[in-house]
Amino acid sequence: MPARTLFAVPHVPFPRSSTPTACHARPDLFIPDREMGSQEDLDRIHRAKSMCSTCPVIEDCLKWALVNPDLAAEGIWAATTPRERTRLVKLIRRPVCTSR
Ligand code: SF4
Protein backbone atom coordinates (compact mmCIF):
# COMPACT_ATOMS: atom_id res chain seq x y z
CA MET A 1 0.00 0.00 0.00
CA PRO A 2 1.41 3.45 -0.85
CA ALA A 3 2.27 5.79 2.00
CA ARG A 4 -0.49 8.20 2.89
CA THR A 5 0.31 11.86 2.35
CA LEU A 6 -1.13 14.22 4.92
CA PHE A 7 -2.17 17.76 4.04
CA ALA A 8 -3.12 20.53 6.43
CA VAL A 9 -6.62 21.93 6.33
CA PRO A 10 -6.13 24.97 4.06
CA HIS A 11 -8.53 27.46 5.67
CA VAL A 12 -6.81 27.44 9.08
CA PRO A 13 -3.34 29.01 8.82
CA PHE A 14 -0.40 27.45 10.59
CA PRO A 15 0.45 29.46 13.71
CA ARG A 16 3.23 31.91 13.00
CA SER A 17 4.95 34.18 15.46
CA SER A 18 7.25 37.14 14.86
CA THR A 19 9.40 35.86 17.71
CA PRO A 20 10.70 32.31 18.15
CA THR A 21 8.24 30.12 20.02
CA ALA A 22 9.21 27.89 22.90
CA CYS A 23 8.47 24.74 20.91
CA HIS A 24 11.02 25.80 18.32
CA ALA A 25 13.58 26.72 20.94
CA ARG A 26 13.08 23.50 22.97
CA PRO A 27 11.53 20.85 20.72
CA ASP A 28 12.79 18.15 23.08
CA LEU A 29 10.16 19.28 25.62
CA PHE A 30 7.31 19.25 23.13
CA ILE A 31 7.89 16.14 21.06
CA PRO A 32 8.20 12.84 22.90
CA ASP A 33 10.87 10.45 21.75
CA ARG A 34 9.36 7.49 23.56
CA GLU A 35 6.27 6.28 25.38
CA MET A 36 5.14 8.66 28.08
CA GLY A 37 4.41 7.72 31.64
CA SER A 38 7.42 8.31 33.85
CA GLN A 39 7.70 11.18 36.30
CA GLU A 40 10.36 12.65 34.02
CA ASP A 41 7.85 12.64 31.14
CA LEU A 42 5.18 14.25 33.28
CA ASP A 43 7.63 16.96 34.35
CA ARG A 44 8.55 17.56 30.71
CA ILE A 45 4.88 17.87 29.72
CA HIS A 46 4.27 20.27 32.59
CA ARG A 47 7.20 22.45 31.48
CA ALA A 48 6.02 22.46 27.86
CA LYS A 49 2.47 23.38 28.86
CA SER A 50 3.77 26.15 31.06
CA MET A 51 5.79 27.56 28.14
CA CYS A 52 2.74 27.42 25.87
CA SER A 53 0.71 29.41 28.36
CA THR A 54 2.70 32.56 27.52
CA CYS A 55 2.96 31.92 23.78
CA PRO A 56 1.58 34.74 21.63
CA VAL A 57 0.06 32.30 19.11
CA ILE A 58 -1.53 29.79 21.48
CA GLU A 59 -5.05 30.33 20.12
CA ASP A 60 -4.01 29.85 16.50
CA CYS A 61 -1.90 26.88 17.55
CA LEU A 62 -4.84 25.18 19.23
CA LYS A 63 -7.13 25.80 16.26
CA TRP A 64 -4.56 24.37 13.86
CA ALA A 65 -3.89 21.31 16.03
CA LEU A 66 -7.61 20.57 16.46
CA VAL A 67 -8.41 20.71 12.75
CA ASN A 68 -5.27 18.78 11.78
CA PRO A 69 -5.30 15.85 14.23
CA ASP A 70 -3.24 13.59 11.98
CA LEU A 71 -0.50 16.19 11.66
CA ALA A 72 -0.63 17.03 15.36
CA ALA A 73 -1.02 13.47 16.56
CA GLU A 74 1.91 13.64 18.94
CA GLY A 75 3.45 16.07 21.33
CA ILE A 76 2.26 19.18 23.09
CA TRP A 77 0.36 21.74 21.04
CA ALA A 78 -1.14 24.82 22.70
CA ALA A 79 -0.67 23.35 26.17
CA THR A 80 -2.61 20.20 25.30
CA THR A 81 -1.60 16.57 25.04
CA PRO A 82 -2.90 14.33 22.23
CA ARG A 83 -5.46 12.82 24.62
CA GLU A 84 -6.68 16.26 25.69
CA ARG A 85 -7.04 17.36 22.06
CA THR A 86 -9.05 14.24 21.26
CA ARG A 87 -11.35 15.05 24.18
CA LEU A 88 -11.73 18.66 23.01
CA VAL A 89 -12.66 17.57 19.48
CA LYS A 90 -15.30 15.21 20.88
CA LEU A 91 -16.72 18.00 23.02
CA ILE A 92 -16.81 20.41 20.10
CA ARG A 93 -18.53 17.88 17.85
CA ARG A 94 -21.07 16.84 20.48
CA PRO A 95 -24.57 17.78 19.38
CA VAL A 96 -26.15 20.56 21.34
CA CYS A 97 -29.64 19.84 22.66
CA THR A 98 -31.97 22.62 21.57
CA SER A 99 -35.17 21.37 23.21
CA ARG A 100 -36.17 22.71 26.62
S1 SF4 B 1 1.34 27.39 21.88
FE2 SF4 B 1 1.91 26.22 20.05
S3 SF4 B 1 3.38 27.51 18.97
FE4 SF4 B 1 3.24 28.27 21.05
S5 SF4 B 1 4.88 27.24 22.20
FE6 SF4 B 1 3.01 26.02 22.45
S7 SF4 B 1 3.10 24.46 20.83
FE8 SF4 B 1 4.55 26.11 20.28
In a domain, 10, yes or no: no
Mean pLDDT of the chain: 90
In a domain, 56, yes or no: yes
| Residue 48 beta carbon below 6 angstroms from any ligand 1 atom | no
Ligand 1, atom 8, residue with closest C-alpha: 23
What is this structure's pTM?
A: 0.86
* Spatial separation of the C-alpha atoms in residues 90 and 93, rounded to whole Å: 5
In a domain, 77, yes or no: yes
User: For the segment 23-62, what is each residue's pLDDT rounded down to a tens digit?
Assistant: 999 999 998 766 668 899 999 999 999 999 999 999 999 9
* Spatial separation of the C-alpha atoms in residues 65 and 54, rounded to whole Å: 17
In a domain, 99, yes or no: no
In a domain, 53, yes or no: yes
- When divided into structural domains, the chain yields a total of 1
* Residue range(s) defining the domain that contains residue 61: 37-93
Answer whether 54's CB lies under 8 Å from 39's CB: no
Provide φ and ψ at 33, rounded to 5°.
-105, 5
In a domain, 84, yes or no: yes
In a domain, 47, yes or no: yes
Q: Which residues contact 27 (CB under 8 A, 6 or more apart)?
A: none
* Residue 87 alpha carbon to ligand 1 centre in Å: 19
In a domain, 69, yes or no: yes
Residue 48, CB-side half-sphere exposure with 13 Å CA sphere = 23
- Quickly state the pLDDT bin for 4 (edges 50, 70, 90): confident
